[in-house]
Amino acid sequence: MEVTVTQENLSFALNNTSRVASNKSGLPILNNILLRTDNSRLYIAATNLEIASSHRIGAKITKPGSITVPAKLISEFVQNLPKEQITLTVQNNKLSIVTKSSSSTINGVADDEFPELPTIDENTAVSYILAVDDFKNSVSQTIIAASNDSTRPILTGVYWHSFEGDLYIAATDGYRLAERKITQTKSDVSAVIPVSTLQEVLRTLRDDVTEIEVLFDDTQVTFRLSETEITSRLIDGSFPDYRQLIPKETNTTTTLSRTEFARVIKIAGLFARESGGGITLSANTETNQLSVTSIASEIGENSSNIETVVEGEDGSVSLNSRYLMDALNIMSADKITFGFSGKLAPCVLTEVESQAVYKHIIMPLKS
């Protein structure tokens, strides 16, 4: 193999694919990145058998061929080269990397030991084309609610599903729930994507990419963004029927400034560290105020009032301040609604401008 590429394109592709390469597997070949000519492109790929990442970059192909080389070494090496043309040559399972000012050789392994990369049949797959901004916002607003508990793997993913003509994504760890409506759909889909896969896709997005294609089959999902493709296994199992946890209405509803609410919750959280982050929120219909209090026996106590519009009845609820801050930080609207029904029912956070699009549910603390 002999190809010539630019340092910028090669470094970008290697950095993205090398994150997927595994050094924990019993298969040493999975530590490597595959380099292979593909018509007028250089194909670069890595896999850990759960997720595969591939990228194609423009190249001048003098001689076709392929090789696999250690992922971490080549990605860090190319990243530190000057931004100029790089010539890659393979001979006797050794990769020669030559620039105007340097020449290096990396020992590689023939690609016949590299596992076959997963593919999805486009003729039978369910496919969606989403605007990148919608994808980023939707995923960012839901993955914060996913669980880290490996004993319940189904909750460590994000549930993509169709419901009444729309595509939704949702995640929950049993203490909080996030749901986002993405787009209309005529297709039926029900799939749980690992959070790690979605995080990898977010990291891979470039500013010049405006659309992303998402393809599902029974066991896999593929994300296509320009010349990059990421394929992952789905999490096996049935996601809980989470909609029964979302209140159709609440006894007390407040409408307030998101930034002011976040500022007050952050302050209250400082005093609540010793009590597991617990804070109490109380709404008063007469004064149209939401009071936020926190008490720590050894530190002191804090109480703040926020001007708001209170509808319904007076009430109070205790919540984990960190969960509330996570939700407020991921929202973008200037005004939000915060609704609750007493001390034990789930609390609902929505954005005033788009209440039907994003919902964040937090379970109260038992006081």
Q: Per-residue pLDDT tens for 209-248?
A: 899 999 999 999 999 998 999 999 999 999 999 999 999 9
Please tell me the predicted confidence (pLDDT) of residue 326.
Answer: 96
Residues 331 and 305 sit within 8 Å (Cβ to Cβ) = no
Structure tokens at 60: 């001048």
Please tell me the predicted confidence (pLDDT) of residue 345.
Answer: 95
Count of domains observed in the chain: 3
If you average pLDDT over each of 98-102, 212-216, 342-346, which comes out highest?
212-216
Query: Do 86 and 167 belong together in one domain?
Result: no
Last residue of a domain, one of 241, 263, 296: 241
Q: What is the 3-state secondary structure (H, E, C) of the chain?
A: CEEEEEHHHHHHHHHHHHCCCCCCCCCHHHHEEEEEEECCEEEEEEECCCEEEEEEEECEEEECCEEEEEHHHHHHHHHCCCCCEEEEEEECCEEEEECCCCEEEEECECHHHCCCCCCCCCCCCEEEEEEHHHHHHHHHHHHCCCCCCCCCHHHHEEEEEEECCEEEEEEECCCEEEEEEEEECCCCCEEEEEHHHHHHHHHHCCCCCCEEEEEECCCEEEEEECCEEEEEECCCCCCCCHHHHCCCCCCEEEEEEHHHHHHHHHHHHHHCHHHCCEEEEEEECCCCEEEEEEEECCCEEEEEEEECEEEECCEEEEEEHHHHHHHHHHCCCCEEEEEECCCCCCEEEEEHHHCCCEEEEECCCCC
Please tell me the predicted confidence (pLDDT) of residue 208.
Answer: 85
β-strand partners of 306: 290
Residues 17 and 8 sit within 8 Å (Cβ to Cβ) = no
Please tell me the predicted confidence (pLDDT) of residue 298.
Answer: 72
pLDDT value at 274 more than 80: no
Range of the domain at 83: 2-113
pLDDT, average across residues 326-342: 95
CA dist., res. 152 & res. 150, Å (int):
5
Residues 114 and 29 sit within 8 Å (Cβ to Cβ) = yes
Residue 353: pLDDT band (50, 70, 90) is confident
- The CATH number that applies at residue 72 is 3.10.150.10
Largest CA distance in the chain: 82
CA dist., res. 2 & res. 37, Å (int):
9
Please tell me the predicted confidence (pLDDT) of residue 25.
Answer: 66
Query: Do 172 and 226 belong together in one domain?
Result: yes
Query: Do 138 and 88 belong together in one domain?
Result: no
Please tell me the predicted confidence (pLDDT) of residue 256.
Answer: 94
Last residue of a domain, one of 61, 86, 113: 113
Query: Do 57 and 96 belong together in one domain?
Result: yes
CA dist., res. 335 & res. 58, Å (int):
46
pLDDT, average across residues 133-157: 95
Domain assignment present for residue 130? The answer is yes
Query: Do 339 and 352 belong together in one domain?
Result: yes
Domain assignment present for residue 161? The answer is yes
0.75 surpassed by pTM? yes
Residue 355: pLDDT band (50, 70, 90) is low
pLDDT value at 367 more than 80: no
Last residue of a domain, one of 221, 241, 261: 241
CA dist., res. 280 & res. 316, Å (int):
7
